[in-house]
């Protein structure tokens, strides 16, 4: 079955050209993780309440998810709700919970039609029963899909993730099933909530804040960071393309040294073509 549009918009030829140029200019990140920030400020700048910004942000989620699927991104992780977000005013938290339920009911079929798998990381048990049920049904419906792995970080924090991994390893050592000397980076990664997901190649943060905000602290050790002043409700596929262009121009050395600028020159050439 041919994928349908998540955004209910027909992709125009100009966008197809941009995507083709982007995919030809260098490596497309296999895993992109996004800290979706600025919904409240976006709403306030328009004289609206914060929940208005959260609703508008859903449109960006649709557009970015669709664009990632189209250009071959394999994993997209969205920081949708942090453990710290529980401290927000109860009215805002309640509005977010209602929005999550409505969005899941509306989008699950579209995700499935587009061969997109939905998973979550975080303390899902803290959510209302209705949210948990909608998440469970959406994940069950899409569990066999393999075009794009869409991961929602819900009630998630990087410190919580690492702490839970330490608890699991400690318990195994206590039971005599694990020698503490055997603990290494790979073993810790295997006990994180993202064990089935490769570490992010690119981390994007919207709204211009220069901090990680307790997101994927272990996993982003070698991720490329991209910060944009754009608020999340205004972050659409053209902004995503800019972030990927910036990623393609960087040389990922992982502590090593390379003396080869061929890839960078190639990327610069394609970027110039794309933006001309």
Please name the helix (run of DSSP H) or strand (run of DSSP E) that holds residue 247, with its range, or none: helix 237-248
67 pLDDT higher than 80:
yes
pLDDT (0 to 100) of residue 68? 98
Question: Does the structure show a pLDDT above 60 at 270?
Answer: no
Q: What is the mean pLDDT of residues 193-221?
A: 97
Mean pLDDT of 102-126: 96
28-157+199-247: CATH class: alpha beta
Backbone region of residue 253 per phi and psi (left: phi > 0; alpha: psi in -120 to 50; beta: other values):
alpha
Domain-wise residue ranges, the chain: 28-157+199-247
Task: Give me the pLDDT at residue 98, please.
Answer: 94
Instruction: Please tell me the predicted confidence (pLDDT) of residue 271.
Output: 45
pLDDT confidence of residue 172: 97
Q: Sheet holding 31-35: strands in order across?
A: 116-121, 148-156, 75-82, 31-35, 202-205, 224-227
- Please tell me whether residue 79 adopts helix, strand or coil conformation: strand
What pLDDT does residue 254 have? 66
What's the token pair of residue 247? 């990623």
Mean pLDDT of the chain: 92
In three-state secondary structure terms, 74 is: coil
Residue 52 CB partners (closer than 8 Å, separation 6+):
43, 46
Q: What percent of the chain is predicted at pLDDT more than 90? A: 87
pTM score:
0.89
Residue 261 or residue 58, greater confidence: 58
* Confidence at 255, pLDDT banded by 50, 70, 90: low
Write out the catalytic residue numbers.
37, 85
pLDDT digits (tens, 9 = 90+) for 77-101: 999 999 999 999 999 999 999 999 9
Whether residue 117 is predicted with pLDDT greater than 90 in this model: the reply is yes
Under 8 Å between Cβ of 196 and 120: no
């Amino acid at each position: 079955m041919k994928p349908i549009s998540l955004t209910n918009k027909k992709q125009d030829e100009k966008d197809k050209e941009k995507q083709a140029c982007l995919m030809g200019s260098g490596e497309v990140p296999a895993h992109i993780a996004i800290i979706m920030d600025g919904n409240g400020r976006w709403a306030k700048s328009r004289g609206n309440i914060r929940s208005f910004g959260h609703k508008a942000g859903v449109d960006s989620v649709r557009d970015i998810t669709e664009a990632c699927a189209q250009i071959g991104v394999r994993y997209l992780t969205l920081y949708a709700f942090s453990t710290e977000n529980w401290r927000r005013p109860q009215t805002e938290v309640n509005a977010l919970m209602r929005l999550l339920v409505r969005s899941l009911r509306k989008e699950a079929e579209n995700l499935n039609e587009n061969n997109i798998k939905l998973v979550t990381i975080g303390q899902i048990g803290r959510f209302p029963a209705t949210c948990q049920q909608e998440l469970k049904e959406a994940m069950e419906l899409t569990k066999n899909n393999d075009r794009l792995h869409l991961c929602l970080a819900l009630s998630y924090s990087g410190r919580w993730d690492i702490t839970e991994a330490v608890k699991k390893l400690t318990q195994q050592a206590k039971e005599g099933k694990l020698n503490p000397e055997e603990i290494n980076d790979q073993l810790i990664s295997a006990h994180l909530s993202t064990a089935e997901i490769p570490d992010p190649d690119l981390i994007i943060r919207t709204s211009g804040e220069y901090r990680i905000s307790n997101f994927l602290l272990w996993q982003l050790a070698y991720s490329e960071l991209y910060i944009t002043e754009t608020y999340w409700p205004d972050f659409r596929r053209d902004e995503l393309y800019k972030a990927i262009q910036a990623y393609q121009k960087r040389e990922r050395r992982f502590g090593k040294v390379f003396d080869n600028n061929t890839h960078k020159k190639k990327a610069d050439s394609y970027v110039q073509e794309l933006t001309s």
